[in-house]
Amino acid sequence: MYIKKTGVILSAAVVAISMLAGCGSSDSRNEPAAPAVLKDGKYEPPITIAIGKQLDENAGKYKTGESVDDNVLTRWALENLGIKTQTTLLGGDAGNYNTKLRLALTGSEKLPDLFPVYDTTLANDLIESGRVKEVTEDIAKYMPARLKEIYKQYPTTFNPVVRDGKVYGMAISPNLTEGQVMLIRQDWLDSLKLEAPTTIDEFESVIAAFTNEDPDGNGKNDTYGFTFSGKDGYNTGWVSDPVMIFSAYTGKKLPMQWSEENGKLSYGSVADGNKEALAKLRDWYSKGYLNKELATQGAWDAIADFTEGQAGIIVGRPWLYDSVKDVEKNVKGAKVKAYATIQGVDGDRTYQNGQLNDGYFMFNKDFSNMEAFFLYYDKLYDAAFGTGDFQYGYAQGYDYDIVDGEVVFDPTKFNEPMDAIQGVGKMAFTKNTPAVYPAGKNFYDLANGAKPDNGPLMAADSAQQTTKDGFVISYENRDSLLPSAFNGPPTSTMQTSWEQLTTMEKETFTKIIYGNEPLEAYDAFVQNWYAKGGTQITEEVNEWYAGTNTKDAMTRMGLE
């Protein structure tokens, strides 16, 4: 009986609905949801943007009850902008993330609305797939004026994502990154009555003394001079980097990147001077001046040797001090100081890999909320400009606090103390907090008398002195930063041969440094590099370089 009555009721309901429909009436239950409307800077009803992340850098660091999709920044965006972000593609690391994006191209994974891409080969494949959005007109229409002023300074960052004058992505927070400095155990220098090195010969003398003359005074043979990572090549561009030694002999032609001279591009790893640099590193390795496991150590492994008091010099970006300063706690009397990198053998400065951006934003071709993306993205820049809701940082009690009326950036002094600030800027779709000026400018301005009267300057002023010194040195030497002259999609021969050539390069360099191959193996490497695709790749890269012209695209985007 109950089933029959239900059937009668349902039948009657269907008839009633049909009659209402026939009379021209509407039933909200059968209508699509009302479209979101941007009103006074907020979407009503809220919209959701599906995003991808290479990894969740805050994993294990969130406050209780917070997560990748529910945290202080995501809640702010929902409340203030009517925008909800939902992470639908999350990688465990770079390789895993790229794999997931490639699966999305095959339909095995859903491609998010918005996702960062850190590999130009993958960016090229995404464009070729036809599944990413052409955003030329969106940038012209929706990018706020202050962001346009930033992007127009970096036209070359569009090279990897422009095809036939159409734009399929945009650099993530383009800006000249900070350069590298030497962090040296000042107490070791003092105990051995040495000065910080400024030339390759002085550098050799210092690391020899750090290895052989018991700089820590413990009577043991347990120290060495220079720690770096060779696992990922010999030009990492950020920390645990030995490229300074190569540049001392090769100048502007750095290993693992392309340089321009007289309108032509060439690959730095086959340039004159590399053999001499390898000979020097080989000699140092044989004498114990370098970390013995450099070929298998990642960047953070090399850092550990310095932090634990074993190594005397490490090279990296100025913020590296914050990662190694524990040596001053772990080792009695330890003191670290920042210095400029050494000069080359010809008396010129040494050069470094400069970066203008960290990956690219790309968008699903079906994504229709570009205006919302730019609204959110522009707000994230408030922290760099020291304006709006983020004038001191992104969230009080997370990356800054106000204690007794004073703005505080030391997390141990917060109202609810923490061991480290939370990377709130990493909780959005950017990997790092956007920056406005070349890195280090705030520190440089403070060192030259500027008053810390806005959030970014106040944050810089709160840093420890060694970090401040490093950033000032970095900013003063920013002309030493050389972004790779080739940043386009992989050429046809690169797609088939580059991995083999890169593997051959790293193996040859490492075997020479370890003494497992004679120094002459470098000459054979150069010959093989050209013979196994390098000649054709160089021609293709120069053909690409001759054809690079983003002028029309920049004009169409309103960035001329």
DSSP 354-399: --S-S-EEEEBTT---HHHHHHHHHHHTHHHHT-GGGSS-SSBTTT
Tell me, what's the pLDDT at 9?
A: 34
- The rounded distance, in Å, linking the Cα atoms of 113 and 108 is 16
The pTM (predicted TM-score) of the whole model is: 0.87
pLDDT over 60 (residue 28): no
pLDDT over 60 (residue 24): no
Tell me, what's the pLDDT at 490?
A: 87
Any idea which of 29-38, 169-178, 183-192, 400-409 has the lowest mean pLDDT?
29-38
Tell me, what's the pLDDT at 410?
A: 93
Tell me, what's the pLDDT at 503?
A: 96
Per-residue three-class SS string for 334-361: CCEEEECCCECCCCCECCEECCCCCCEE
CB of 451 within 8 A of CB of 457?
Answer: yes
Tell me, what's the pLDDT at 29?
A: 43
pLDDT band of 383, cuts 50, 70, 90: very high
- The rounded distance, in Å, linking the Cα atoms of 200 and 244 is 10
pLDDT over 70 (residue 223): yes
Beta pairing, strands 166-167 & 162-163: antiparallel
**DSSP 8-state symbol, 532:** I
Mean pLDDT on 506-532: 98
CB of 458 within 8 A of CB of 409?
Answer: yes
pLDDT over 60 (residue 445): yes
Tell me, what's the pLDDT at 1?
A: 34
Tell me, what's the pLDDT at 32?
A: 56
Assigned token pair, 410: 């030391």
- The rounded distance, in Å, linking the Cα atoms of 415 and 150 is 36
What DSSP string runs through 92-127? SSHHHHHHHHHHHHHTSSPPPSEEEE--HHHHHHHH
Helix (H) / strand (E) element for 528: namely: helix 521-529
The tens digit of pLDDT for each residue in 63-115 reads: 999 999 999 999 999 999 999 999 999 998 889 999 999 998 888 778 999 99
Q: CB within 8 A of 300, min separation 6: which ones?
A: 240
pLDDT band of 488, cuts 50, 70, 90: confident
Beta pairing, strands 83-90 & 47-53: parallel
SS3 content of the chain, % helix, strand, coil (to 5): 45, 15, 40
The sign of the CA dihedral 303, 309, 313, 318 is positive
- The rounded distance, in Å, linking the Cα atoms of 194 and 482 is 31
- The rounded distance, in Å, linking the Cα atoms of 325 and 343 is 26
Burial degree of 134 (CB within 10 A; 0-12, 13-18, 19+):
middle
pLDDT over 50 (residue 164): yes
Average pLDDT, the chain: 92
Helix (H) / strand (E) element for 81: namely: helix 72-81
- The rounded distance, in Å, linking the Cα atoms of 87 and 84 is 10
pLDDT, greater one: 495 or 268 = 268
The tens digit of pLDDT for each residue in 531-556 reads: 999 999 999 999 999 988 788 999 99
Burial degree of 456 (CB within 10 A; 0-12, 13-18, 19+):
buried
Mean pLDDT on 202-215: 98
pLDDT band of 431, cuts 50, 70, 90: confident
- The rounded distance, in Å, linking the Cα atoms of 383 and 390 is 5
Side-chain half-sphere of 498: how many Cα atoms within 13 Å? 15
Query: CB 87: neighbour CB atoms within 10 A?
Result: 16
The tens digit of pLDDT for each residue in 228-253 reads: 999 989 998 889 999 999 999 999 99
